[in-house]
Amino acid sequence: MIAVNAREALRSLASSKQRTLLALIGVIIGIGSVMAMLGLGETVKAEALRQFNQMGTDVITLRQGFGPEGDDARPQAMLPEDMTLLSRYANSVRSVSPEVEIYGKVRSGTAELSGSVKGVWPAYVDINRLKMAQGRFLTAYDRDSPFAVLGQAAFNKLIQQGAREPLEEITIMGRPFSVIGVLAPAELGYNSSMVDEAVMIPLDMAQRYAQSPGLSQAAVRLWPDIDHDLASAEIQSLMNQFKGMPFNLHISSPRQLLEQISRQMRLYTMLLAAVGSISLIVGGVGIMNMMLVSVTERRREIGIRRAMGAQRNDIVSQFLVESMLLSLSGGIIGVALGVAVSLIAASVKGWQPVWVPGAILLCLGVSLVVGLFFGYYPARKAAGLDVIVALRAD
């Protein structure tokens, strides 16, 4: 009977193509939007995880919070000596790289760029898993030397503007520095450009240009299998001891950022699901309207079937199959549309698309439920027609 009803449903839907298409639009938009959001959400999460894995999920970042008066006075400043003590006494810390960031003009002959100049320790290259394209990185013996290491993008910009190769000397805010190395392109995900476009110099040299003794931030690499929450608590406790007072320290980790991204994606998914639900309700109402029209047009057919022995349940199942087939068709088209949208968006961004098979099954299941729910009333109305009245219908 299901096969027979399905053939009858297809014949009925094909006989009114325009009306069928109009009834499908709401379901297509609803299912398509939800499918696209689910696909994009999983793709974004996978891309964020890949970027954080490149950067290192065992690295946390320390930044100084504002003091009670909102200033950067010395008692509330995060200093290089604090990082030295931290690397010595923190059991969870493997290595530390403090950083002072200033902005200024970098020149080589007539070539010039304005950008970030980072004062760093030698551990910076190891913590950020950087590689050298030319020369070497800074060492502990270079702390008072005017040496500079260029990021790949900064080096390319200077060369494109006319700097002569080999690039041996630059000036930073008017002071000469010897170029001892060039970094290979960084592989730090969203942080890559911050390294590629920067110039690295010894931390002690950078502090001479800085307006305050405090650090901009510090990157801390933890020992393997160390819990980030326990490490954060230990670092905070030690910083309080070093300062002799509660120190306002902001600690962030890739895991926290991943959790924030996941929460945001869940919020976006819920928002689009709400929009998709409205579209599905509109589509369901359209399906119900079409089925009610179909019942009116096919009263004589219903009367003949009842006169030949068809039961009420047979009529109900006939119209329910037609309604569910209509909704499922919209669901299939919507899934295909959602997949296409997410594939196009991923390809534009250069991401690897990720799919959850359960999402496709969920969307198709929802479309079936919509067809069942909104098709039940027209089916019951068809089954409740009086046989004599139905046979008299034109």
Which residue type sits at 304? I
Q: Kindly state the percentage of the chain with pLDDT values over 90.
A: 28
183-213 residue pLDDT tens: 999 877 656 788 899 999 999 999 888 877 7
Three-state DSSP state, 352? coil
Least confident of 109-113, 152-156, 195-199, 317-321: 317-321
Q: What is residue 70's predicted lDDT score, i.e. its pLDDT? A: 42
Least confident of 1-5, 34-38, 60-64, 382-386: 1-5
* Confidence tier at 108 by pLDDT (50, 70, 90): very high
pLDDT at 314 over 80: no
Query: Could you give the CA distance from residue 146 to residue 202 in angstroms, rounded to a whole number?
Result: 8
Q: Would you say how long the chain is, in residues?
A: 394
Query: Could you give the CA distance from residue 364 to residue 268 in angstroms, rounded to a whole number?
Result: 21
Q: What is residue 10's predicted lDDT score, i.e. its pLDDT? A: 65
* Confidence tier at 357 by pLDDT (50, 70, 90): confident
Q: Which residue has the tokens 């760029």?
A: 113
Mean pLDDT of the residues in the chain: 82
Least confident of 41-50, 340-349, 368-377: 41-50
pLDDT at 69 over 60: no
161-184 residue pLDDT tens: 988 888 999 999 889 999 999 999
pLDDT at 328 over 80: yes
Q: What is residue 150's predicted lDDT score, i.e. its pLDDT? A: 95
Helix and strand counts by DSSP (H, E) for the chain: 13, 10
Least confident of 100-104, 287-291, 355-359: 355-359
Q: What is residue 292's predicted lDDT score, i.e. its pLDDT? A: 79
- Residue of 24 and 139 predicted with greater confidence: 139
Query: Could you give the CA distance from residue 51 to residue 350 in angstroms, rounded to a whole number?
Result: 13
Least confident of 151-155, 183-187, 288-292: 288-292
Question: Is 9:321 a contact under the CB 8 Å cutoff?
Answer: yes
Neighbours of 386 (CB within 10 A): 11
Q: What is residue 142's predicted lDDT score, i.e. its pLDDT? A: 93
Domain ranges of the chain: 2-52+258-392, 59-252
75: which DSSP letter? Answer: G
pTM of the model: 0.61
- Residue of 66 and 382 predicted with greater confidence: 382
Question: Is 130:184 a contact under the CB 8 Å cutoff?
Answer: yes
Least confident of 111-125, 331-345, 367-381: 367-381
pLDDT at 74 over 60: no
Strand 217-222 with 93-108, pairing: antiparallel
pLDDT at 12 over 80: no
